[in-house]
Amino acid sequence: MAYETVIGLEVHVQLNTHSKAFCADDTSFGGEPNTQVSVVSLGHPGTLPKANGQQIALATRLGLALGCKINQRTTFDRKNYFYADLPKGYQITQDQRPICVGGDLDIKMGDAWKSIRIHHIHMEEDAGKSIHTLAPKHSFIDLNRAGTPLLEIVTEPDLRSGEEVDAFMTAMRQLVRYLEVSDGNMEQGSLRCDVNISVRPHGQTSYNDRCEVKNVNSMKFARQAIDYEVKRQIKIMENGGKVKQQTLNFDPNTGVTSPLREKEDAHDYRYFPEPDLPPVVLSDAYLNNTNQALPQLPKAAYNELTQKYQLSDYDASILVEDRETLLYFQGLIQHTSNYKAAANLIINRLLPWKQENKSTLSTFPVPSTSLAALIALVEEGKVNSTAAYQNILNALITKPDQAPLALAQEMNLIQSADSDFLSDLAKEVIAQFPDKVKEYQKGKKGLIGFFMGELMKKSKGKADPKASTEILQQLLK
């Protein structure tokens, strides 16, 4: 029988605020254990939370970018449970009136876009970190992370494969980075997801009971966990069994999921309104201002690059990957209308430069106007592209205030279409390789490239390729 995989995600995004959600502790990653704490995050009696305005701003920004309906009156609730990394005995979260409802995120699967619906987004605080491996009978607790602001994005069960989950998480990471609401760093846990998986026979419209896989902190693990889980559930169904709803833990070392706890004796979280935090009321003006301050979003940028500037899917996808690259491209094409050349220059030279120097494009030393002038030199046939994008650009990186044309002259790279100059060089090349000339004349026409290469070397990169080829062909007849 053919089966269909049904997946919904609970994505946790750590907001990039300086301080925690409901108290003013530092949220920086990697501090010494228990140094980013206060009486509030430690859960001491008599302390009170106070909401960080920035987390509300960031939550609103993401919600508007995803096309969510924003609840203009949104409230906090307590989720009660005992765990050593949760000093208060409850997590402040949103249950009844989460800040965002609905919305969707489009993912690109091959050439087609697919819309993944968002059920809701709520604000909550993170728990501390438990370390179980330091001693046989004790767990060690670090509360630096306790109280860090998170958004939980809950999707509808619209995803159908590990590839789609990968695409969704990639698109979400790209979006939160565009919006500057999170650094989206999966290794540091700023972006992580729980994966709800069920399998049903093709054509069935209702959903089967799902299993939730926790602790998936990389895309590789998510795909492994999904692959394993789908096989496991199909096997149960083929053997006439029924998949039980449960929470599973994924072990990256074995690639296997195992039960964490049964959902049936489900946790009784006894949610109730958080009396210590007054409601949040968002005015129309607040929403309008937030909306107007949204940057161009990745999908709109992709469409602009492929439609208005006629770039390929490959080029556009690379240029919109992060906002800095997009802005750099958009800045560069203020000075040149050769969009393809601008894209190539960024993709082939600037991004590798950024990678090698572990730097940012904004610190690339050569100004956009010079890059545009370089593109123009190639377009006008004054220098060939190798000379421009290798030799001259390398020189520009060390001498960024020089004009590309002056450098080209100084480096003796101005291309020559002068036929006397070129035919002298062509004659030299022909005299130098009599064997190759015979082969060419016997029909091995591909050798023209060889002669061109030799001629180009002799010209030190200055020969105009088109004029040279014509002269060579003429002389070799």
Q: In angstroms, what is the minimal distance from the CB of 165 to another protein?
A: 24
Per CB under 8 A, 278 contacts another protein: yes
- Name beta bridge partners: 281: 73
Sign, CA torsion 224/226/231/236:
positive
- Name beta bridge partners: 155: 118
CA distance 235 to 282: 50
When the beta carbons of 181 and 378 are compared against another protein, the nearer one is 181
Q: In Å, how far are 79, 80, 269 from 273, measured between CA atoms?
A: 9, 11, 12
Of 1-9, 39-47, 306-314, 327-335, the segment contacting another protein by CB under 8 A is 39-47
Q: In angstroms, what is the minimal distance from the CB of 137 to another protein?
A: 6
Of 72, 75, 52, nearest to 63 by C-alpha is: 72
Per CB under 8 A, 279 contacts another protein: yes
Per CB under 8 A, 52 contacts another protein: yes
Binding another protein by CB under 8 A: which of 170, 185, 249, 402? 249
86: number of Cβ within 10 Å: 21
Per CB under 8 A, 284 contacts another protein: no
Of 237, 170, 13, nearest to 229 by C-alpha is: 237
Per CB under 8 A, 37 contacts another protein: yes
CA distance 174 to 176: 6
Per CB under 8 A, 36 contacts another protein: yes
Site for another protein in 212-231 (CB under 8 A): none
Per CB under 8 A, 275 contacts another protein: yes
Q: What is the Cβ-side half-sphere exposure of residue 390, based on CA atoms within 13 angstroms? A: 6
CA distance 245 to 248: 10
16 is written with which tokens?
């990039």
Residue 117 parent element (H or E): strand 112-125
Of 44-52, 202-210, 384-392, 466-474, the segment contacting another protein by CB under 8 A is 44-52
**399-428 footprint of another protein as x/- string (CB under 8 A):** ------------------------------
Q: In angstroms, what is the minimal distance from the CB of 260 to another protein?
A: 6
CA distance 362 to 348: 17
Q: In angstroms, what is the minimal distance from the CB of 9 to another protein?
A: 22
Site size for another protein (CB under 8 A): 55
When the beta carbons of 75 and 174 are compared against another protein, the nearer one is 75
Of 1-9, 78-86, 387-395, 404-412, the segment contacting another protein by CB under 8 A is 78-86
Of 16-24, 106-114, 329-337, 387-395, the segment contacting another protein by CB under 8 A is 16-24
When the beta carbons of 133 and 206 are compared against another protein, the nearer one is 133
Tell me how many degrees the CA angle 150-154-156 measures, rounded to the nearest 5: 170
List helix spans (H) across 157-282.
162-178, 219-238
CA distance 75 to 93: 9
Per CB under 8 A, 244 contacts another protein: no
Of 82-90, 171-179, 303-311, 452-460, the segment contacting another protein by CB under 8 A is 82-90
Per CB under 8 A, 24 contacts another protein: yes
Per CB under 8 A, 91 contacts another protein: no
CA distance 41 to 206: 43
Q: In Å, how far are 213, 218, 220 from 195, measured between CA atoms?
A: 5, 12, 13
Site for another protein in 121-160 (CB under 8 A): 130-132, 134-143
Binding another protein by CB under 8 A: which of 23, 222, 366, 425? 23
Q: In angstroms, what is the minimal distance from the CB of 51 to another protein?
A: 5
What one-character DSSP code corresponds to residue 362? G
Site for another protein in 251-270 (CB under 8 A): 258, 260-261, 268, 270
CA distance 262 to 9: 19
Binding another protein by CB under 8 A: which of 17, 93, 257, 384? 17
When the beta carbons of 14 and 36 are compared against another protein, the nearer one is 36
Residue 248 parent element (H or E): strand 246-251
The residue ranges that bind another protein (CB under 8 A) are 17-19, 23-26, 32-40, 42, 50-56, 75, 80, 82-84, 130-132, 134-143, 249, 258, 260-261, 268, 270, 273, 275, 277-281
